[in-house]
Amino acid sequence: MTASTPIEILRVRNAVGEGILWDWRRQLLWWTDIPNRTLYRYEWNRGTTRKWETPERVGSFGFIKDSHRLIVAFASGIALYDPCTGAVDWIARPEEIAPGIRFNDGRVDRRGRFWSGTMIERGTHTDGACLYSVNSARECRRHFSGIAISNGLCLSPDGRLLYFADSPTRTIRVFEMIEPEGTLGPPKLFAQSADGSAPDGAAIDADGCMWSAHWGGGCVVRYTPDGRIDRTLPVPARQPSCVCFAGTDLDILCVTSACEGLDQEMLLADPNAGDVFFYRTGVRGLREPEYLV
């Protein structure tokens, strides 16, 4: 078995599996199937999967320090959410969230703030989608707009750089994080993906390299900190959507995928579409930061 072959495949057939994260404290793997309003939790040591129906579609989420709740970017806003009880404690529902716009990709930064961006699903919105952050005081801040589909949010190991992809433009940009306010400096071009291959969810490894799922490209690309392609990992699904590092040693790359938009003929040619793939890449990831309340 080569490093480009999955060591395991979770047969979940998600419409759009997304937002995969590793809870290193509890040894649990979480992800969302956005259109089906389903949150998944895989117990690593038992090999069992549990799922919950969510009150709205979940675009992304993060873990909360000293809590079993999650901070969640639902379609219409950001909230603290308890999957077991279904309790939702809304933090922010920005007025810019109009019909045809919803929250999408997000992540907690290394200072305990939660970031999430929106995306345009339909209609005409002159201002486009936006990028927001929420701090421990529950203050929601809008950073910039003019986005089509927010994706690929991840942080450098020292937290000084924030990476962000706008999928339809096939562009990944990087921003300097100016502390203590968490203000973003001017964007710089980090990488541009190939035609037909849109940068989707991403994660940073212990070497500071980015692993970016390329929707439509059937692969995950590892970029060095200077934006150079270091390696390309083939995925046995046309639409890989997000990645994270999991396992006791953070050395298993986990990749979600999607079957949405594929007709019957395409599904026959793409039998693993919507499944979750595990790889040994010889690289370790970083512990996921936690939202501070």
Query: What pLDDT score was predicted for residue 2?
Result: 56
Are the C-beta atoms of residues 293 and 68 closer than 8 Å to each other?
no
Q: Which of 189, 80, 190, 77 minimizes the C-alpha distance to 142? A: 77
Assigned CATH for 8-291? 2.120.10.30
Cβ burial, residue 53 (10 Å; 0-12/13-18/19+): exposed
**In the numeric block, which tokens belong to residue 125?**
């919105």
For 236-252, the pLDDT digits (tens) are 999 999 999 999 999 99
Query: What pLDDT score was predicted for residue 106?
Result: 98
Percentages (nearest 5) of helix, strand, coil residues in the chain? 5, 55, 45
Low-confidence ranges of the chain (pLDDT < 70): 1-2, 123-127
Query: What pLDDT score was predicted for residue 98?
Result: 86
Query: What pLDDT score was predicted for residue 123?
Result: 64
Q: How far is CA 143 from the centre of its chain?
A: 19
Catalytic residue from among 105, 200, 205, 275: 200
Query: What pLDDT score was predicted for residue 125?
Result: 56
Is 200 noted as a catalytic residue in this protein? yes
